[in-house]
Amino acid sequence: MLSILIPTYNYPVLDLVKRVHKQAKDAQIIFEIIVVDDCSKNIPIIEINSEIEKLDNCKLLVNKQNIGRTASRNLLANNASFEILLFLDADVLPKNDDFINRFNLNENNNCSVIYGGVSYYENPPENDKILRWKYGKCREAKSVEKRLKEPYFIISQNLLIKKSVFKEANSLTINAYGLDILFSNNLKKNNVIVKHIDNPVYHLGLENSKSFLKKSLEAVATTIQLEEDGLMYKNLRPLQKSYRSLKKWKLLGLFNFLNNVFESTIESNLVSKNPSLFLFDIYRLSYYTNHKSKLND
């Protein structure tokens, strides 16, 4: 028995729902699909998604106000009929035609968390979306072997999880970008075993580079706030570890000075058709170190 849960906002999910609906039927399992629309404003997309309820075992919930992806997932979990939840983001499609079967629900019914992975198409997108595509291919689309080296680096866009485990780990439902890191932190803190399998989804909804940069800095700001509130380990993310190293060797002042000098040059590179992920890391680390330094003044 499986509850397939999809939060969406101004994104058409009918194709995704139809695909997983067919696969779940082919797998001959008891299932439901619940989609929550987080107060979308795009009328054509709303009309497309309204077709979901014409499919058997499918339900569409509509929020009266925008509450964010994390809170929407909590709402989905509360409305789920079954203990096993499969969370999918709206902007994904299964890579394999046997996506549902690959979770081996009978064999893995005692697993608390199973992460299937994410993939990206080989052909690059438009130039203004190269940064998000390049980051995804190099940092997110990892083999099972590489993921096992950092088992708590998971992305909740393709996650099978027990409802009780999800509710305990999804402890903060504010509308903020970058809360996946808190979810991973809570799984690690609770010593939850994460099983990794080769069952990825394609990530389709690539933001343009300027939007991705903005959201990336918002995610860094969320990390800082979670640290200050005592909700997150201070050495979980690579940028946190880099900050601690710079502080240990008394190089924070020099690092911040150099980044302030070259900030506009770095930003120009990141929105170009050939962005550097090294500079992207420096850009986020600079934001982190500047804000941490202000907090510690």
Give me the residues paired with residue 6 across strands.
35
Radius of gyration in angstroms for the set of CA atoms belonging to the chain, rounded to a whole number: 20
Collapsed DSSP state (helix, strand, coil) of residue 211? helix
How far apart (Å, rounded) are the C-alpha atoms in residues 92 and 235? Answer: 30
Quickly tell me which residue has 């997309």 as its tokens: 45
pLDDT of 297 over the 70 cut: no
**144 Cβ neighbours under 8 A, 6+ residues apart:** 117, 196, 197, 198
Q: What are the angstrom distances between the C-alpha of 133 and each of 16, 136, 195, 219?
A: 20, 5, 26, 18
Read off the pLDDT of residues 63-121 as tens digits, 9 standing for 90 and up: 999 999 889 999 999 999 999 999 999 999 999 999 999 999 988 888 999 999 999 99
Q: Would you state the structure tokens that stand for residue 158, as one six-digit string?
A: 């393709």
* Largest Cα–Cα separation, the chain: 62
Residue 137 predicted with pLDDT over 60: yes
CATH of the domain spanning 2-205: 3.90.550.10
The helix (run of H) or strand (run of E) holding residue 7 is strand 2-8
Instruction: Please tell me whether the overall predicted TM-score, pTM, comes out greater than 0.85 for this model.
Output: yes
- Confidence category of residue 176, pLDDT binned at 50, 70, 90: confident
Q: In the structure encoding, which two tokens stand for residue 1, read together?
A: 């028995």
Residue 259 pLDDT: 92
Count of Cβ atoms closer than 10 Å to residue 27 Cβ: 16
Contact 266, 279 (CB under 8 A): yes
Rounded-to-integer distance, Cα 272 and Cα 268, Å: 6
* The pLDDT of residue 174: 74
For residue 175, pLDDT over 80 is answered with no
Residue 134 has pLDDT above 80, yes or no: yes
Give the up-direction half-sphere exposure of residue 118: CA atoms within 13 A in the CB hemisphere.
24
β-partners of residue 119 are 202
Residues carrying CATH 3.90.550.10, the chain: 2-205
DSSP 237: S
Q: pLDDT value at position 39?
A: 97
Q: Nearest-CA neighbor of 78 among 14, 3, 18, 16? A: 3
